[in-house]
Structures are given as structure tokens and as C-alpha cells.
Amino acid sequence: MDSNRDPLIPQRAGTGKKWRVLLGVLAVFGSIVTALTWAAASPIGGSPDDDYHLASIWCPRPLDLSGCEVRETKGAVEVRVPAVIPSSTCAARQPETSAACVGQADAAGGLAWTDRVDQGDYPFGYYQIQHLFASDNVTGSILVMRTVNALLGFLLLGAVIFLAPRDSRLPFALAVAAAWVPMGVYLLASNNPSSWAISGVSAYAFALFGLLRSSGRRRLGLAILGGIGAVLAFSSRADASFYILVASLVILALTPTVLKQWRLLVFPAVASLLGLVVLATSGQNQAVGYVNPDSEVVAEMGFFKHALYLIMQLPEYFLGFWGVNFGPGWLDVRLDTITFFGSFFVLGVLAAFGLAEMWLGKIVALVLGFGALLGIPVVITFLQNDDELRYQPRYLLPLLALCVFTVIVGRKPWRERMNLLTLTVIALALALANAFALHRTIRRYITGDDVLDYVMNRTEWWWSFGPSPMVLWGMGSLGFLVAILAFLLLAKHLSEERLTTAHSIVPPESDASSGENVP
């Protein structure tokens, strides 16, 4: 018997296969429940700039072929969309106001004109594909879109982890779990293009890591999944296209044998080049590169003082990746402290293990990853002559799972560090964070934050079908617990099964003297 195996996990071949199947079924079932509940947790227009994104989905470019009525009013191009879409902002940025006005607009039906529609600001792809789910049933269409987006992210990352080399499966799973709760899960199950950016960049990065350490059909499968991830990133946001380059550099820094596999560099080179092309041709560049000529910040503070002032805001900004001051909705859902406790507890546990092992390649990868994660908002804000970091953390959330993975990757296989009890504690902490985040999000929209109704019996807004808010919350909390526990246990179990001849995280020759596989 392998001494590294967990004694609480069945070991016999037949039993092990049944165990994997059971965990896989539970993970998929829990993911579906999680996707459905988060999709229904907020009303139409509940995620950032939804009036713009939904109008662009109903009327994607080219506008004259979208099937929508188009007109020009005072130089502004307008499209005619379901009236609830432009009206869905009635409760935005007002945390004490429920979504009752959104429900009334949805019930009233009809059409309305809006100039909040994409005319080249966003890459081609996301809106056009989402348009396939648009119908006269606005509510049903939106819930389908959100659910599909979430399941796409869950299944894509799950497939990458399944095909990844044995030693990298559990750290991939842990990095995704620690980075995506709660804001990643919330955004995955939204109508925001950030959903595809988060899942696409993560899938590409992890697939590239596995591809450089695999062979045969497994390598081909990872190349296909990585390509899908890159396409999702290219189709979502211009900045996500740039993150493909960042992810490529980070993964190559973690691969000491990369020069011996120079032929494989064609894959990240082509992906990165395409990402730069999408970035250069996107209208989002104008917003990112905007400089406020009327700002007196630099004149008053000076170059170095201005830069230092922005850098000092980074610790608080970093917490925003998990929703501190940058919660769900239009940044108007105030998450509870216990939510952050669960997420940061897991992050701290993983960081304590990961940072105990450092080497040159990992240091370079950390500098590249976190340099982009925290440097981009500082540079953009500095160039815009602003004194507060306004580049929202959700824009950089696609890089977070990769950065967490870079922190925790190490010489010693994680399957030896994580027993059943440790993984259970991690799963419970993340399930706690998810449960409180889901509860607070639902409550904000059904009553507003001015009503302290933890049982959620009062509803000023809710869907006209389906379970009650409390039942939905219970389903989502339990479903996520099942999904995350099964997901982590399955990743650990697969990491212990010698199902592949693929290379481990780093080829043995990288440290012949010690006999260990050193990244």
C-alpha cells in the first residue's frame, strides 16, 4: 500500500473506481445546484453594468443584423430592448432599497429605447453567443444565461483538473476554491462578461501548466481545453486577453525544462499574440488609457508621493478580491465579516504551506503574477491622475486563481500534506463563506439592508416561480458544501491514482541530487 495514501479513502481498485464515480456525481450535482441558486440570488440587472451588458446581449453587434430596432438620437445610437433592462438600475447603488421596482418593471413588460449598448467597446463573441439564449421571456432567458455561464466555468476547470498531471490536480483544485469564493462564484453565475474572463484565463493557465508536463492524448486534451479557455478570455474583455500573456509568462517561469520543450512554446506564443491583438483592437483601451487633464492630484502631491499613496492602498484593495468594499451587485451588497473569515482562513492555511518553499522560478512567477495583479490598478490610476484605486478588483479576478496557485505550488506533493480531515476543514470554511455571502445577497434584494430578517420571511421582491428565498438559500448552501467537498476529495483521490505516465509537476532531473521533483 502507498504510504502517501489517505487511510480514510478506499484503496481497492474496484472500490476506488466507484469512489471516484460517486465523488464526480456529487461534484457535478452540487455544482448545478450552486449555479442555479446563485443565478437566482439577484434580480434582473443585479450584477455590475447589467443594463449595458443585457442590452448588448439582446442587440449584439452588428446592430443592423441583431433583429433590434435601431435609431440615432442627437448623435447617440439607441436600440429598442425589453423595458425591464434599462429600468433594472432603479435599485442600483442603493443598498437599503429592495428590487421591488425591478420586479414591477419586469411585470409591466413592453419595450424601451437605450443608448447603453456595445458599439465596439467589448470584444466580439460573448454578446453574440449569449444572444442565442435571448427570448421574449426575459426572466427565463437571463436565468438560463447565468446558469450556463457558471456551469461552463465549473465544468471547464473540472475537465482541466481531471486531465492534469497527477501531482498538480489537488493544488489546482485548492487554488480555484480559495480564489473563487465568494466573488468568483457570484460573477461566474452572472450576465457579466467577467464570468468568461475568470473561467477562461484560469482554464488556459492551468491547462498550459499541465500541457508542459504531459504527453500523448493527455497533452492534446489539455491543449484543446486551454484553447477553449483562451477563446473565452478573448471573447469577454480586452484586459482578459492581456492576462493570457501574463498567465503564459507565469507558467513558463514555473517550468524549468521549458527550453527543452521549445516546440511547445508555439501554443502560449500564439495565444499571447492573439490576446495582444484583441487588446489593441478593443474600444476598452480608450477607457483604460484615459488621462484626466483637469486633475490636480499630481500637482499637489508630486510624482513620488502620488505613487506611494496609491501603493499604500493596495492591502485594502487586495481584500476586495474577496468582496471587502467591492461586494456583489453594483458594489452595494455589504458582505458579512464571517464571509471573509472563511475565505481568508483557507487562504492563510494554503499560503503557510506554500511560502515555506521558495526557489528562483517560483520567485519570478510570484513577481510576474502579483506584479500584474496589484501593479495594473496602480499604473492605471496613476496615469489617470486619480488619488484612489478605482480599477475594480473584479477586473483582475481572472488572475487570482493563478496567483494563489503560484503561492502554494511546492516541491512536496499536496496529496501528502492534505488528509481527509484537513480538506474537510477547508471545505467547511469555504462553505461557510459561501452560505453567508449567498444569504446577504438574497436579503439585500428581497428587502434591502435596512431590514434585519435573517429568516428571510419578508419579501418585497422575488421571482414569480420557484422556491422561497429561505429554501433557495438552504439549497445553495448545502449544494455548495457537497460540491466543494466532493471536488477537493476527488482531486486528492485522482492525484493518488497512477492513471498516467505524464510527468509530475517538475521532471526529476531538475534536482537529481535530492531525488525530489523540484518545480
Task: Say what the pLDDT of residue 504 is.
Answer: 44
User: How many C-beta atoms surround the C-beta of residue 274 within 10 A?
Assistant: 17
Paired residues of 76 in beta bridges: 73
Task: Say what the pLDDT of residue 285 is.
Answer: 64
Task: Say what the pLDDT of residue 292 is.
Answer: 60
Residue-wise pLDDT tens digits, 506-516:
443 333 333 33
Q: What residue type is 123 in one-letter code?
A: P
3-class DSSP assignment, residue 513: coil
Task: Say what the pLDDT of residue 295 is.
Answer: 61
Under 8 Å between Cβ of 519 and 506:
yes
Residues 167, 173, 176, 181, CA torsion sign: negative
Task: Say what the pLDDT of residue 418 is.
Answer: 81
Is this structure's pTM higher than 0.95? no
Under 8 Å between Cβ of 126 and 196:
yes
Grid cell, residue 361, equals 522560478
Paired residues of 85 in beta bridges: none
Ordered per-residue pLDDT tens for the chain, 519 residues: 444 454 444 455 456 788 889 999 999 999 999 999 999 999 999 999 999 999 999 999 999 999 999 999 988 999 999 999 999 999 999 999 999 999 999 999 999 999 999 999 999 999 999 999 999 999 999 999 999 999 999 999 999 999 999 889 999 999 999 999 999 999 999 999 999 999 999 999 999 999 999 989 999 999 999 999 999 999 999 999 999 999 999 999 999 888 888 889 999 999 999 999 999 988 776 555 555 655 666 667 777 888 999 999 999 999 999 999 999 999 999 999 999 999 999 999 999 989 989 999 999 999 999 999 999 999 999 888 888 888 899 999 999 999 999 999 987 777 777 888 999 999 999 999 999 999 999 999 999 998 888 899 899 999 999 999 999 999 999 999 999 999 999 998 888 765 433 344 544 333 333 333 333
478 class by beta-carbon count within 10 Å (0-12 exposed, 13-18 middle, 19+ buried): middle
Task: Say what the pLDDT of residue 67 is.
Answer: 92
Task: Say what the pLDDT of residue 111 is.
Answer: 97
Residue-wise pLDDT tens digits, 40-55:
999 999 999 999 999 9
**How is the chain split into domains, by residue range?**
13-45+136-280+325-370+392-511, 50-133
3-state helix, strand, coil in the chain (%, to 5): 65, 5, 30
User: How many C-beta atoms surround the C-beta of residue 201 within 10 A?
Assistant: 31
